[in-house]
C-alpha cells in the first residue's frame, strides 16, 4: 500500500497502457475460441453469443495449414528470414550505435542519426514504387545499367534468384535507424568512469569498445533478441508483400506464413481459419520466448528477461 502511494504518479502514467492492454489483448481472448469453432454469424445475436452457439469443430480449422504442400517452404521462409534479420539487424545496429557514439562533432552525429532513422518512417508501399524505378524490367535503372555493360537484363519481378538478398538488405536498411537508437541510448547511459579509468591505464579506443562497451551492451542485446524471437512466426507484411509486388513467380522465396494466410483467406467467411493461423503463430512465438529465456537463464541468470 505504501509503495502504491509513493509511486502513484508513475502508476498513473501506466494506466493508459494497462487499459489498452486489457481492451486489446485480454478482452480479445475469447476470440481464441474462433479457431475451434465453425463460426456462424447471425442476425439476432451479437458476436460473442453467436460465437458461443456456433458448433465446435476441434482442430478442423488447422487442417488448411497442414494440407498445403508448400507449408514446409513457407515455414522455412518465415524462420529463415526472421533469424537472418535478427542476427544481421543486431550486428549492424550495434556497430552503427558504437560508431555514432564515437563521433564527437554533435551536428554530424545528429545528421547521421536522422538520415539513418529516415527509412523507418517510410511506408513500404512508397518504397516499393521507388524500387520499381530500379527493378522495372524495361525502364529500370538496373536493367539499363546491365544492358549498358552488354549483360543480359534480368526480369526482376519474375526471377526469384536475387530476392532473398534483396529482402534481407531492405529489411535491415529500414530497421537500422530504429534499432541503433535503442543501443545508442544504452551506451550513453554507461558510467563514464569506466572509460576514464581505461584510458588512464592506456587502453586504446578499440580495446575500450571490446572490453567495456560490448560486454555492457550484452544484456540489452539479449533482451531485444528474446523479444525479437517472440515475433519469429510473424513477418513484416509490407516487406514481403508490397516490395515484391505480390508477384506469384516469387512466391517460393517471398511467401511467409502471414503472406500465405493473407493470400489464402481473401475469401469470405474465413474467420475460423484466420484465427487458427494466428493461434498457431502465437503458440509458437510464446514457446520460443519461454524456451530462449530458459536457456539464457541456465547460462547467465542476470541476463534473462524474467
Partner 1 sequence: MKKISALLVAFVAILAGCGSSGDGADTASTDVPTISWYLIGAAPAAELQVEEAMNEILVPEVGAKIDLVFYDYGEYEDKMNMKFSANEPMDIVFASPLPFEENVSSGKYLALNDYLEDKDVLSETQKVINEKFWDGVTIDGNVYAIPTNKEIATQLYYLFDSSLVEKYDFDTTKVESMEDTEPFLQAVLDGEGYAPTSNDLNWNGLGKDLSLDCVASLSLQVCLDPEDPEAGYRWVYDIPGYQDQMEYIDYLIDNGLMMSDTLDIVDFATTDHAMIKQEGFPGAEVNWEKTFGKEYDVQPIGTPVVTTDSVRGSMNVISATSENPELAAKVINEVNTNSELRTIFAYGVEGTQWEYNEDGKIEFLDGASDYAVGVYEQGNFFTLPLAVGEPDDKWEQFEELNTTSKESPALGFAPDLSDFSAELANSSNMLEKHKITTMLANFDDSDTDIAAARKDLESVGFFDLIDEINRQYEEFQTTK
- We find the least distance from the C-beta atom of residue 169 to partner 1, in angstroms, to be 22
Binding to partner 1, residues 71-130 (CB under 8 A):
none
- Site map 126..145 versus partner 1, x via CB under 8 A: ------x---xxx-------
Contact range with partner 1 by CB under 8 A, out of 26-34, 105-113, 212-220, 240-248 = 240-248
- Site map 35..54 versus partner 1, x via CB under 8 A: -----xxxxx--x-------
Distance in Å from the first CA to the final CA of the chain: 24
CA nearest to 58, candidates 32, 41, 37: 37
For residues 301 and 293, give the distance between their C-alpha atoms in angstroms, rounded to a whole number.
10
Show the cell assigned to 114: 536522422
Which residues, in sequence order, are CB contacts of 255 under 8 Å at separation 6+?
Answer: 70, 73, 74, 77, 240, 263
- We find the least distance from the C-beta atom of residue 251 to partner 1, in angstroms, to be 5
Binding to partner 1, residues 10-29 (CB under 8 A):
12-13, 15-16, 19, 23
- We find the least distance from the C-beta atom of residue 46 to partner 1, in angstroms, to be 8
Neighbours of 76 (CB within 10 A): 14
For residues 100 and 182, give the distance between their C-alpha atoms in angstroms, rounded to a whole number.
12
Contacts by 291-294 with C-beta closer than 8 Å and gap 24+? 292/225, 292/226, 292/229, 293/226
Report the residue number, 103 or 136, with the smaller CB distance to partner 1: 136
The answer to whether the CB of 238 falls within 8 A of the CB of 294 is no
- We find the least distance from the C-beta atom of residue 159 to partner 1, in angstroms, to be 9
Q: Rg (Cα) of the chain, in Å, rounded?
A: 24
Which residues, in sequence order, are CB contacts of 292 under 8 Å at separation 6+?
Answer: 225, 226, 229
From 1, 2, 3, 9, residue interacting with partner 1 (rule: CB under 8 A)? 9
Report the residue number, 13 or 197, with the smaller CB distance to partner 1: 13
- Site map 247..286 versus partner 1, x via CB under 8 A: xxx-x--------x--xxxxxxxx-xx-------------
Which residues, in sequence order, are CB contacts of 56 under 8 Å at separation 6+?
Answer: 36, 37
Contact range with partner 1 by CB under 8 A, out of 56-64, 99-107, 161-169, 187-195 = 56-64
CA nearest to 168, candidates 67, 81, 76: 81
Contact range with partner 1 by CB under 8 A, out of 8-16, 84-92, 96-104, 175-183 = 8-16
Interaction of residue 61 with partner 1, rule CB under 8 A: yes
Binding to partner 1, residues 148-177 (CB under 8 A):
155, 157-158
Report the residue number, 125 or 214, with the smaller CB distance to partner 1: 125
Which residues, in sequence order, are CB contacts of 16 under 8 Å at separation 6+?
Answer: none
Residues that bind partner 1 (CB under 8 A): 9, 12-13, 15-16, 19, 23, 40-44, 47, 60-61, 63-64, 67-69, 132, 136-138, 155, 157-158, 245, 247-249, 251, 260, 263-270, 272-273
Amino acid at each position: 500500500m505504501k509503495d502504491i502511494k509513493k509511486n502513484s504518479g508513475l502508476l498513473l502514467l501506466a494506466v493508459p497502457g494497462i487499459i489498452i492492454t486489457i481492451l486489446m489483448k485480454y478482452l480479445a481472448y475469447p476470440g481464441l475460441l474462433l479457431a475451434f469453432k465453425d463460426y456462424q454469424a447471425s442476425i439476432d445475436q451479437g458476436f460473442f453469443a453467436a460465437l458461443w452457439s456456433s458448433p465446435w469443430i476441434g482442430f478442423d480449422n488447422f487442417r488448411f495449414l497442414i494440407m498445403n504442400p508448400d507449408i514446409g517452404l513457407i515455414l522455412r521462409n518465415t524462420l529463415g528470414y526472421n533469424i537472418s534479420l535478427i542476427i544481421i539487424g543486431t550486428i549492424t545496429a550495434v556497430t552503427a550505435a558504437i560508431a555514432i557514439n564515437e563521433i564527437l562533432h554533435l551536428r554530424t552525429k545528429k545528421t547521421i542519426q536522422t538520415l539513418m532513422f529516415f527509412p523507418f518512417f517510410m511506408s513500404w508501399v512508397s518504397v516499393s514504387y521507388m524500387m520499381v524505378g530500379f527493378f522495372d524490367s524495361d525502364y529500370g535503372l538496373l536493367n539499363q545499367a546491365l544492358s549498358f555493360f552488354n549483360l543480359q537484363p534480368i526480369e526482376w519481378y519474375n526471377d526469384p534468384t536475387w530476392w532473398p538478398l534483396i529482402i534481407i538488405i531492405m529489411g535491415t536498411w529500414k530497421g537500422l535507424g530504429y534499432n541503433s537508437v535503442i543501443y545508442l541510448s544504452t551506451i550513453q547511459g554507461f558510467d563514464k568512469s569506466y572509460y576514464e579509468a581505461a584510458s588512464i591505464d592506456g587502453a586504446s579506443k578499440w580495446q575500450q569498445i571490446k572490453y567495456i562497451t560490448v560486454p555492457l551492451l550484452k544484456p540489452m542485446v539479449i533482451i531485444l533478441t528474446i523479444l525479437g524471437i517472440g515475433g519469429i512466426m510473424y513477418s513484416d507484411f509490407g516487406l514481403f508483400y508490397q516490395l515484391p509486388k505480390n508477384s506469384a513467380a516469387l512466391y517460393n522465396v517471398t511467401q511467409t506464413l502471414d503472406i500465405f494466410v493473407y493470400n489464402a483467406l481473401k475469401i469470405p467467411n474465413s474467420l475460423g481459419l484466420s484465427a487458427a493461423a494466428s493461434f498457431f503463430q502465437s503458440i509458437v512465438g510464446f514457446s520460443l520466448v519461454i524456451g530462449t529465456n530458459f536457456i539464457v537463464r541456465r547460462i547467465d541468470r542476470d541476463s534473462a528477461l524474467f
